[in-house]
């Protein structure tokens, strides 16, 4: 009887504790259900709002980001951004084709990192034109953060660096369980996005 009581006590303590590993494994840090909508407060030179909404799903998710349609592909353990690489050369737009850009690895793992390199070339009016894209994500950290929509634990912060040809951009992103992106910072432009509202279609 004493042994049974002890086991019950241990089970009660375990179930009453927050298990960060369990939270990370069971939570969706990039929920893409159709109808999900995020509204952000954007602070920069002026204060405005930004909206992201999952519009539809066929083989990939069609997401509207401030009215711009973006395609995301969810695979086992990863989220990819499907995009077309273009550039302007001699006043004309040149396409280098569509790529599958590695966007996120899921589930998140502390201190994880990943990167991808794309190099293309094409001939345009007798000239060979080159295009390069490098994406690197590192410094994946776990933290606690507050935004206008609420306070969050088990938040993952990512540092994303994108180098397209000779232009580089660094972005910091914070992802919360079952909500997704709750904050984004673009230091070079002094712009910060913070989540003001989230509605789930689940």
Per-residue pLDDT at 9: 33
pTM for the whole structure = 0.84
pLDDT in tens, 14-55: 333 444 444 445 689 999 999 999 999 999 989 999 999 999
Over the Cα atoms of the chain, what is R_g?
21
Domains of the chain: 28-199 (2.40.360)
First-to-last C-alpha distance (Å) of the chain: 44
Contacts of 30 (CB under 8 A, 6+ apart): 74, 79, 104, 106, 175, 180, 181
pLDDT in tens, 80-120: 999 999 999 999 999 999 999 999 999 999 999 999 999 99
Q: Which of 157, 159, 186 is nearest to 43 (CA)?
A: 186
Average pLDDT, the chain: 88
Per-residue pLDDT at 13: 32
């Amino acid at each position: 009887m004493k042994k049974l009581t002890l086991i019950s006590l241990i089970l009660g303590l375990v179930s009453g504790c927050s298990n960060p590993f369990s939270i990370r494994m069971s939570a969706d840090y990039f929920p893409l259900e159709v109808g999900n909508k995020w509204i952000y407060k954007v602070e920069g030179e002026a204060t405005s709002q930004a909206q992201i909404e999952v519009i539809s799903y066929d083989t990939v998710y069609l997401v509207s980001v401030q009215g711009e349609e973006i395609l995301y592909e969810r695979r086992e353990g990863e989220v990819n951004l499907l995009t077309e690489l273009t550039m302007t050369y001699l006043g004309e737009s040149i396409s280098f084709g569509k790529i599958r850009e590695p966007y996120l690895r899921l589930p998140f793992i502390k201190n994880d990192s990943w990167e991808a390199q794309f190099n293309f070339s094409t001939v345009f009016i007798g000239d060979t034109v080159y295009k390069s894209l490098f994406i690197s994500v590192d410094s994946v950290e776990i933290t606690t953060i507050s935004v206008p929509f609420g306070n969050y634990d088990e938040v993952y912060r990512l540092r994303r660096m994108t180098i397209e040809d000779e232009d580089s951009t660094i972005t910091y992103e914070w992802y919360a369980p079952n909500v997704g992106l709750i904050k984004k910072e673009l230091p070079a432009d002094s712009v910060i996005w913070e989540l003001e509202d989230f509605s789930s279609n689940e």
